[in-house]
C-alpha cells in the first residue's frame, strides 16, 4: 500500500507546474488552463485523504470544486472573448489598462 505522502508530493508538483504556467505564460487561455491544473492538484489531495481516512466528504467536496470550476471557466472564457473583441489580442502583457 502506497503511503499517502506520494500522492501529496505528486499533487504538490502538479500545483507548482500550474502556478508556473499562471506566472510565466502570456497566452490568457493557457493561463486559464494552468489554473485548471491547480484545481486538479487540489482535487487529488482531497480524494487521497478521503481514501486514507475512509471519509466520503473529500469526494463530495471535489464535486463542488468541479462545479464551481466549470462555472468559472465559462464566465472567464466569455470575458476573454470580450477582451479579444476590443483589443484583438489575448496577450496578457497587453491587458494593462482598466478601461475596456
Partner 1 sequence: MPLFLQNLPDLLIFGTLAVLAVASALGMLFSRHAVYAALFLVLNFISIAILFLVLGAPFVALAQITVYAGAIMVLFLFVIMLLGSESLPGKSKLRFHRSVAVLFGLALLVEVGVLVITIWGDFPKTTGLSTVYADPTSLGLALFNQYTLPFEITSLILLVGIIGAISLILREHQTGQTSIPINEATGEKKE
Q: Does 95 bind partner 1 (CB under 8 A)?
A: no
Interface size with partner 1, residues (CB under 8 A): 71
Which of positions 21-60 make contact with partner 1 (CB under 8 A)?
21, 23-27, 29-30, 32-34, 36-37, 40, 43-44, 47-48, 50-54, 56-57, 59-60
- Give phi and psi for 91, each to the nearest 5: -75, 120
Least distance to partner 1, CB of residue 47, Å:
5
d(CA 68, CA 5): 27
Residue matched to cell numbers 494593462 = 96
Q: Which residues contact 91 (CB under 8 A, 6 or more apart)?
A: 26, 27, 28
Straight-line distance from the first to the last Cα atom of the chain, in angstroms, rounded to the nearest whole number = 54
Least distance to partner 1, CB of residue 99, Å:
16
Least distance to partner 1, CB of residue 97, Å:
14
Amino acid at each position: 500500500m502506497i503511503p499517502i505522502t506520494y500522492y501529496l508530493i505528486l499533487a504538490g508538483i502538479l500545483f507548482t507546474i500550474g502556478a508556473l504556467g499562471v506566472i510565466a505564460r502570456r497566452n490568457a487561455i493557457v493561463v486559464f488552463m494552468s489554473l485548471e491544473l491547480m484545481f486538479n492538484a487540489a482535487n487529488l489531495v482531497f480524494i487521497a485523504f478521503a481514501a486514507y481516512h475512509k471519509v466520503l466528504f473529500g469526494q463530495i467536496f471535489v464535486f463542488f470544486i468541479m462545479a464551481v470550476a466549470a462555472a468559472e471557466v465559462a464566465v472567464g472564457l466569455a470575458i476573454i472573448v470580450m477582451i479579444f473583441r476590443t483589443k484583438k489580442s489575448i496577450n496578457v502583457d497587453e491587458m494593462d489598462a482598466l478601461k475596456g
